[in-house]
Structure 1
Amino acid sequence: MKWVLLMSVAACLMLSACSGGSGGASDKTKDGKVIVSFQTFWGSETRKPVIEKIVNDFNQSQDKIEVKHTYVPWGDIWTKNLAAVAAGNPADVIVNDINSVSHRAQNKQSEDLSPYINESIKNELYPNLWKTVEYKGKFYGVPFTTDTRLLFYNKKDFKEAGLDPNRPPSTWKELEEYAKKLDVKKGSSYERIGFYPTWGSFGAGSWMANADNGKGFIEGDKLEIATPRKIETLKWIADWRKRLGDKNLQKYEADFGSGQSNPFISGKVSMWTDVATFYTQIRDSKTNMDFGVAPMPAYDSSSRHWNEGGGFVLEIPKGAKHPKEAAAFIKYMAGVKAQEYWAKKNYDNIANMQAAKNVIKGFSGKEKMVYQQAVDNLKDTRLHPVPIHYPDYQSRIDPQIDAAIHGKKSAKKALEKAEKDVKQQRK
């Protein structure tokens, strides 16, 4: 998310926001309950009923607060929120991006929650998530959901290739060896590709962090872009593309965007990286695929299975009319009951550790296998919040990565140029 752009858009929307962002004309119901307006982008047929059930459960659990949920489309919710904050009329609670909490705190767009919520709540939530909501010794959000990437692999393909279906690749070296055995080539084209690193949801930057001891492109204020491991990784990805052939990959990638079924599910790719919810696509495909899941392969046998995650937090926008009541609702949302219900119904990774354990106990079979792996992954999953001094760093790095992968630049020159460009961007 490009927060500099969002700020400029928000300024343009200030006048329209003056008509009301709180979602309610009155502060109280007829029976005296304080109305708390709650905005999310969860409007799908699956997610909307779940969040509204949680809201209804909270409303029935006490007699002082009435939460009213409003759906705002993904493309609008955050720009409209910033505009409403600027106009002094925001919602009381909003779902927001976990990796940009500190920016909203710095820009005074969200409320410090420490006066309303005891910091001991962090002991109930995954520590790596809690770090993202802290800013200058205070916290400005409460984690709600997160994610992590898994390696899905087709056991039938493994057997056909002479690989042990119960022993997925653990290192990059094994990943390459397995992928080559799983490839099915006919002439100069492929009927099946064993694996390609940037397909799925683990991009080039994630692989670079995986190799570089979990370090992102920027750690604190230190640039970690053109490090030896990241340069090596970018060359590694470019070598995969060179081996498989640009035309072959482009042909596959064209099918990805055409609305056809997922290439892993359709049997065109043997190994695939994705979040745990990808399991529901496999399940609903009715293919009865025999598949397994594993951690992301480690750089080598002495390295951890570093992963990368994101997620969402609950915030009180700056200037909200009912922060005390909003905080009470946020505490409920982060509690075991609400978190467990959300996870069971949406198959999401959640922030509450006890709730995650409870969910696993209620699952069985493949459903349990995938969710257990996702929860296990969290110990090696790092979040990389958008740095305060480099809010738009990704736009300087991505073109250089793309150039290197497609052989237009060496990996070293590409990342050195990216680091130079990012350094010049410092606020």
Structure 2
Amino acid sequence: MPTNPLSRRGFLLGVAATTALGVAGCGLGGSSDDNADSGPVTGDVTGEIKFQTWALKPKYTDYINGLITAFQKQHAGVKVNWIDQPADGYLQKVTADAAAGNLPDVVNVPPDLSFPLARKKLLLNIDTAMPDARKDYLDNAWAAYAIPGQTGSYGFPWYLNTGPTFYNKALFRQVGLDPEHPPTNYSELENDALVMAQRSDKKIAMLGLTPVIADFGLYGVTVMNADGSKFTFNEPKGVQFVEMYKRLYDAGALIPEALTANYTGAGTKFMNQQIAWAPGSAYDLQNFKTNAPSLYANVGITKTITNTGKAVLYVQGLSVPAASKNKPTALAFAKFVTNAENQMAFAKLTAIFPSTKGTMSDPYFSQDGGTDEGRVRVAAAKQLETAVNYTPVQWSEQMTTLLQQKMSDAMQGKTSPKQALDDTVAQCNKLLAG
């Protein structure tokens, strides 16, 4: 459960934007010897499989072990060997294992890592392998594992998130902004950020990150063309978005550290009350209470700002490699882990949301119990009804780095916002074609 609090550069468990891995052209090798779309998988659920997760130990050890025990009791003769990999370097490890043909039978991957694997026919098409599975999951969650240019979907959605935005009421109050009426649109955000920077003599910045690709989607930019073959976020609305960030940077409303390559310190700065505005999730709220009580006393909670009316959807899921030697058991276990009952239990254990149909109607997601955590949970659950995964599956870590570098150049005046986006789109389309 990779976490990078208050950053759209990482999956916040709590959420998550999923972190993409630059695997295009990185030597995943040829297609699997097995046909990933050969029809429904049949056979007995028995034998041994390996199940790999992403940074779930030690916090969720009891939960996962409980799942494994329950599944093994249901299926005599099954043995599930659980492997949990640390967060650092996880995606690179998955890529290396894929290249070597050593992927576990069930592997936790975000949608954007499923893209290069599925394109190489290294993952089973779940629509083909288990045709009845789709009906049990939310349509927007299932669609997150669809691959442009190919039919089907290549992962079982496991857990979802979306988040509110957090802001620091004390910092708003300090510069004379109304802490009970935070910005509700991009124009208000810019105006308040400029006021904050000016009245604090540039000592308090509103923002801690340059925009990532999901932010362009929230702004209403058309990130890709209809068939997913080309990036298009250098359209006029995209340029307008970057121009806004340039004005904020020039005024001191965006911290200069945000221009550093692969900067990940925005969450810490918000925790230390050095910036006033940050995306997040219900997971972060508990983190504030435990690790930043002075911030927690002043934290405000508001909706994600979006021009589309739809918040960001973050997704994690489980895929089954086409080369698995025990596909029936791997598919059955992945389906079991992600069924409604088990996802509901996981949601109550931590700050995530189920991907299964009907589960969100549970009163747990509509009754806040009078707590801040409950209020965030209920608000996020409502957003999930229409939330969108704005990060295309084709988007890679290499593309993320390119965008960040060009945003840095634009902020510093080394190039214009339009030229920065034109260059980024050109290079990303070249990577996509490769």
Indicate how the Cα distance of structure 1 residues 334 and 180 shifts in structure 2: closer, same or farther if over 3 A, else same: same
Q: Distance in 2 between matches of 1:179 and 1:76?
A: 35
Which of 61, 67, 71 is the aligned partner of 2:84?
71
8 Å contact kept, 1:116–1:324: no
Distance 1:404 1:342 in 2: 43
How large is the Cα RMSD of the aligned pairs?
3.5
Of 409, 413, 416, the residue aligned with 1:407 is 413
SS of 1:69's equivalent in the other structure is: strand
Q: Secondary structure at the match of 1:3?
A: coil
Q: Distance in 2 between matches of 1:395 and 1:167?
A: 35
Contact 1:197 1:237 in 2 (8 A): no
C-alpha separation in 2, matches of 1:355 and 1:189? 46
Gap change, CA 1:123 and 1:172, over 3 Å in 2: same
User: How big is each residue's C-alpha offset from its partner over 1:107-154, in whole Å with a ceiling of 9 and x where there is no partner?
Assistant: 0211222354234x3343332221122343222211112333421123
Summarize the Cα distance change of 1:171–1:350 in structure 2 as closer, same or farther, 3 Å threshold.
same
Could you tell me whether the CA contact under 8 Å between 2:160 and 2:313 is conserved in 1?
Answer: yes
Write the letter of the residue equivalent to 2:375: M
Query: Shift of the alpha carbon at 1:82?
Result: 4.8
**Could you tell me which residue of structure 2 aligns to residue 58 of structure 1?**
71
Which residue pairs with 2:237 in the alignment? 229
- Tell me, yes or no, if the aligned pair for 1:225 and 1:418 is still in contact at 8 Å: no
Is 1:37 aligned with 2:50? yes
Report the equivalent of 1:373.
379
Conservation of the 8 A alpha-carbon contact between 2:160 and 2:355: yes
Q: Structure 1 residues 271 and 227 mapped into 2: Cα distance closer, same or farther (>3 Å)?
A: same
**Displacement, 1:205?**
2.9
Equivalent pair of 1:39/1:70 in contact (CA under 8 Å): yes
**Residues 181-330 of structure 1 mapped to structure 2, 5 A cutoff:** 181-183=195-197, 185=199, 188-190=201-203, 192-193=204-205, 195-196=206-207, 198=209, 203-213=211-221, 215-217=222-224, 219=226, 220-244=228-252, 249-250=255-256, 262-285=268-291, 286-287=293-294, 288-298=296-306, 303-330=307-334
In the other structure, the counterpart of 2:427 is: 421
- Inter-partner Cα distance in structure 2 for 1:134 and 1:98: 8
Q: Determine whether 1:101 maps to 2:106.
A: no
TM-score w.r.t. structure 1 length? Answer: 0.79
Q: Which position in structure 2 is the counterpart of 1:140? A: 154
Structure 2 portions without partners, runs of 5+: 1-20, 31-43
Is 1:177 equivalent to 2:177 in the alignment? no
In structure 1, what is the equivalent of residue 14 of structure 2? none
Q: Percent identity?
A: 17
Match of 1:20 in 2: none
User: Tell me, what secondary structure is at the counterpart of 2:72?
Assistant: helix
In 2, Cα distance between the equivalents of 1:184 and 1:265? Answer: 22
Q: CA deviation at 1:217?
A: 4.8
The one-letter amino acid of 2:425's match is E
Distance 1:62 1:100 in 2: 31
CA contact (8 A) 2:128 2:152 kept: no
Task: Give distance in 1, aligned partners of 2:99 and 2:141.
Answer: 28
Q: CA separation in 1, counterparts of 2:194 and 2:253?
A: 13
Shift of 1:53: 2.7
Alpha-carbon offset, residue 326 of structure 1: 1.1
Larger Rg: 1
* Higher RCO structure (Cα 8 Å, ≥6 apart): 2
TM-score (norm: length of structure 2): 0.77
Cα distance in 1 for partners of 2:424, 2:96 equals 32
Cα pair distance change 1:77/1:282, threshold 3 Å: closer
Q: Distance in 1 between matches of 2:53 and 2:24?
A: 22
Of 60-69 and 221-230, the range deviating more from structure 2: 60-69
Equivalent AA in structure 1 for residue 287 of structure 2? Q
Please state how far the C-alpha of 1:44 moved relative to its aligned partner: 3.5
| Unpaired runs of at least 5, structure 1 | 12-27
Q: CA deviation at 1:401?
A: 2.1
Aligned position for 1:14: none
Partner of 1:360: 365
In the alignment, what sits opposite 1:122? 134
More strand by share: 1
User: 1:222-252: per-residue Cα shift (whole Å, max 9, x none)?
Assistant: 4312100000111110110100178xx3479
- Cα distance change, pair 333–85 in 1 and its aligned pair in 2 (3 A): same
